[in-house]
Amino acid sequence: MFIETSTWGKIEVDENNTYQFPRGLPGFENETSFALIPWEDTPFSYLQSLTEKELSFLIVSPFEFKKDYSFELSEEDKEELKIEEDVVVYSIVTIHSDVTKSTMNLLAPVIINPAHRVGKQVVLQQSGYVTKHLIWTEEATSAKEGV
């Protein structure tokens, strides 16, 4: 299928890379259809709205930069996501003008169930995680290099 984006213009996306977010994302509750678009040769991807070409989020697997990231989903979240198998976890990234100050949101991961092509951004309760976790920390660099 073809979609319009503000960043790349008209592009083709595989329908298997499209996901429904029944409740939208916090602050964007009316946007429920998104495509996952990998950023080639990087660990990053874009979560692009299928209906609003101006709306996309840079995302990354938090495990790329924080190996010990972990949390438990509530039963309600598991039901809503129809979890029977593994899911994919992403964090929304905020790029700073000084790239070394770029952050990822560990408090509200984006959970995607590829088997059912459904997703949800989950706000973790009492997790100790923050919305602005620095990506480029010494810990993240060591994890990336396998040290």
Mean pLDDT, consecutive 10-residue stretches, the chain (147 aa), reads 92 95 96 96 96 97 96 93 92 95 97 96 93 80 49
User: What is the separation, in whole angstroms, between the first and last Cα of the chain?
Assistant: 42
Task: Say how many domains are in the chain.
Answer: 1
Residue 137 domain boundaries: 2-145
The pLDDT assigned to 126 comes to: 84
The pLDDT assigned to 147 comes to: 42
The pLDDT assigned to 139 comes to: 53
**What is the C-alpha separation between 35 and 33, in angstroms, rounded?**
7
Place of tokens 């950023």: 39
The pLDDT assigned to 137 comes to: 76
The pLDDT assigned to 85 comes to: 83
Written as six digits, the tokens of 52 are 């609003």
Burial class for 62, CB neighbours closer than 10 Å (0-12, 13-18, 19+): buried
CATH number at residue 75: 2.30.290.10
